[in-house]
Amino acid sequence: MPKNLRLAMLSCAGCTLMLLVTCGLACNVFSAAQPYILAGNGFTNTQTSLITTIRSAAYLLGTLAVGRYYRRIGYRAGCALSAVLVSVSFVIFAVAKSLAAYYFAGAVAGIGYAFGSMVPASILMRRWFRSHCGLAIGVCAGYALAAGTGLATVAFSPLFTSIAEKSGVDHAFLWTAVFCLAAAAVVFCLVRDDPHALGLEPFGKEAQESAQTRALHALHPTRLRWAMVQLAVLLVSGIGATGFTHLMTLYMAEGMDAMRAAAAFSLCGLALMAGKFACGALCDRLGSYRSNYLLFGCFILGYVLCTLAPLRSAVLMLASAVFLGFGSSLNTVGISIWAADLSTQERYESVLRQFQAAYGLGGLVMSFLPGAIADLTGSYAPAYALFAALLAFSLFTLQSTYRLARK
């Protein structure tokens, strides 16, 4: 195996493990903890949702500093340190006795997530892989689902729930913190910053741009159109993160017991894993324009099915988990690929950081809505209906930009 391919694959595996911790555990598995925090402390739905709101605010602030952060300490140390920050946040969650302590832990998790998000993973993949970059990003994020966010949701959510049921949620938090710290050490051993610094070339040949990609790169969108694209990214990412985070709470609020809700959430993780692989591969093969319709369709259908949760149908709940999970690939892999489509190679990092800032702002704006709506209406279902409508608007906005390039 060529040395550049071997190191590229190791860096991909390191990014995978980083995303397992910063996205899979800090965000997705935290969904399994929310019902226990809500029930064990007497907080309202809105107060509990504010933990994710504060995490999103910290993430947003972190994205503003992520470029300087990696320029100062490099990608290898930076990726490892992001996992350490998430470990610290879980320790704080374990010992928290007040709402303020939970909010502080959420802020630390948000900073860790910002520094260990898809930004460094996508940039490293574009440094190490020349061909099939969309697939490389998808594989990285797919592992971040299979061995990353997916494995976190599939395996860690039931494990976290089992420990919380037997020993208490504080023990579940502490064991998660230990795993995150061990993962940080492995990430440091696997990730390499840049092939050129090692006297190597990126793996693969420079991919031939399609006519549509050249047209997209040649576009100079007006400020209004670019603002609408950013709004679409904000909505997709905010809705994706918020809907996913509250999914287990939705199931349990409608009468599903904790272990069955965790199993349904694991199924969502399996679908998310498949979606992450499929998103990159579909965009490489079919192009982003056609792939967007398929992926958004699954995403919207998942949210529509969530609105039927009050019917307490196990089949509908499982179907909602599958479609929502598959479509959720858009708010990580999709954003990275849209950034590549809508920018030149030179502007990619800048545009990706803009999109990730929109991602953070979306989480900040959306994260409190399910809890607030549940306090007002007695159900989380209306929030999912609102989210489905906003996703349809995002699809229309994004595709109108792609259609300009097709003319």
To 5 degrees, how large is the angle CA 104–CA 106–CA 109?
115
Collapsing DSSP to helix, strand or coil, 48 comes out as helix
Q: What is the pTM of this model?
A: 0.72
Query: At residue 86, does pLDDT exceed 90?
Result: yes
Distance from the first to the final alpha carbon of the chain? 43
Whole-number Å distance between alpha carbons of 31 and 14: 24
Taking only the tens place, the pLDDT of each residue in 174-188 is 999 999 999 999 999
Query: Given pLDDT bands bounded at 50, 70 and 90, which one contains residue 204?
Result: low
User: Which architecture, in CATH terms, is 3-406?
Assistant: Up-down Bundle (1.20)
Nearest to 85 by CA among 177, 12, 19, 187: 177
Residue type for 92, please? I
The per-residue pLDDT of the chain, averaged, comes to 83
Least confident of 43-57, 307-321, 351-365: 351-365
Least confident of 229-233, 243-247, 381-385: 243-247
Cα-Cα-Cα-Cα torsion 348, 196, 62, 295, nearest 10 degrees, comes to: 50
